[in-house]
Amino acid sequence: MKHLLTLLIVIMTALAAAAQVSGIADMQKFESRLKETSDKLTSIESDFLQVKHLDMFDEDVTSKGKFYYLKDNKISLDYSQPLSYLIVINGSRLKIVADGKKNVMQLNTNKMMNEMQDMITACMVGDLNRMNDNYNLKYQEDNNQYIISITPRSKQVKDYVSAIEIRLSKADMSVDQLRMYENEADYTDYKFSNKRFNQLKDESRFAID
């Protein structure tokens, strides 16, 4: 029994060490890889799992769907579970389809909404070059991922998103997970899987009419 307990302590210690987060050791390598990946990226297709956590409720709300990105500034979040729901961003225009009803808005007429759109697009595809002086960025890493924490400086943006955490896969520099905090307690998680790059040709899913 004593030997088993010692073994368990050793395993748990090793796992804790493996998951340890620290500052990025080689920022030049990180920035070089990120730029190279961003320059080559033309499209992304993936599954996504969205988890909405609200501190006032006991259970999180989970949704699933397909994520599509086409360079430049074209994003589609096509929800399939638990309900059908569609969000499309195409340049400066936003389309939301829910319960068969379509709503289209122009983002560039509102400076704050336009900034939000640029920020969300950048975070979902891991294009940190879009981040300007309006954001504070903190860089960390563990064995498998780069972890970037983003804090908006603008109070207007903070009213909607107080902070963002992006986890980039070290294998291909793509976004594995995106967490958007509305405040200190409430957040929305997006986890991306089954990712395919530079294969999407059909632009019809980004149509806004």
Q: Give me the CATH number covering residue 190.
A: 2.50.20.10
In the chain, the number of structural domains is 1
Is 21 part of any domain? Answer: no
CA nearest neighbour of 75 among 125, 37, 127: 125
Cα–Cα distance between 89 and 13 in angstroms, integer? Answer: 45
Give the pairing of strands 74-81 and 85-90.
antiparallel
pLDDT recorded at residue 46: 94
Is 35 part of any domain? Answer: yes
Q: Is 125 exposed, middle or buried (0-12, 13-18, 19+ CB in 10 A)?
A: buried
User: Which range marks the domain in which residue 189 is found?
Assistant: 30-206
Is 199 part of any domain? Answer: yes
Is the CB of residue 135 less than 8 Å from the CB of residue 153? Answer: yes
CA nearest neighbour of 85 among 107, 53, 63: 63
Is 10 part of any domain? Answer: no
φ/ψ (deg, to 5) at 187: -155, 165
Digit-by-digit pLDDT tens for the chain (209 residues) are 555 444 444 444 444 444 577 788 888 998 899 888 888 999 999 999 999 999 888 889 999 999 999 987 889 999 998 889 998 998 888 888 988 888 898 887 777 777 777 777 888 888 877 776 788 889 999 889 999 998 888 888 888 888 989 999 999 999 999 999 988 889 999 999 999 999 998 889 899 87
pLDDT recorded at residue 19: 54
Is 198 part of any domain? Answer: yes
DSSP code string of 16-65:
HHHT--EE-S-HHHHHHHHHHHHHH--EEEEEEEEEEE-TTSSS-EEEEE
Is 1 part of any domain? Answer: no
Q: What is the per-residue burial (b if ≥16 Cβ within 10 Å, else e) of 143-171?
A: eebbbbebebeeeebeeebbbbbbbbbee
Is 13 part of any domain? Answer: no
Three-state DSSP class for 161?
coil
pLDDT recorded at residue 22: 77
Is 81 part of any domain? Answer: yes
